[in-house]
Amino acid sequence: MIRLSKALAIKDMSNPFHLHNSDHLGLILVSHHLTRSNYNTWSKAMAVTLTTKNKIGFVDGTIPCVAPIDFLFNAWNHCNNMVTSWILNSILKDIVDSLMYIATTTKI
């Protein structure tokens, strides 16, 4: 019963593990890519967008990684990978290459 209630809670749009039908790996959230000289502007735009999508916790650590044996691990991992993809899509390729193998968005 607990698993069912957790699974149903993920469908709640206020749940940070909820992904909208329009969320996909290729989504570009900010209009300008991170370069070596625009971090402050880029990070503010990204923070606003991720806050609006209820995903900023994956970046700031308030939604920590759950244990692989936890029922919510797959949902956490799915969202973490989605947010990572969104961030990487908004960074210049020469910078992305150095970030590609970082495991969690918090560490990026």
19 within 8 A of 82, measured Cβ to Cβ? yes
What's the pLDDT at 68? Answer: 95
In a domain? residue 104: no
92 within 8 A of 38, measured Cβ to Cβ? no
Domain limits at 25?
Answer: 2-96
**In this structure, what DSSP letter does residue 91 have?**
B
In a domain? residue 33: yes
What's the pLDDT at 14? Answer: 85
In a domain? residue 103: no
The total number of structural domains in the chain stands at 1
pLDDT of 88 above 70? yes
What residues pair up with 91 in beta bridges, in sequence order? 34
pLDDT 10s digits, 8-51: 566 788 889 999 999 999 998 999 999 999 999 999 999 999 99
For the entire predicted model, the pTM comes to 0.85
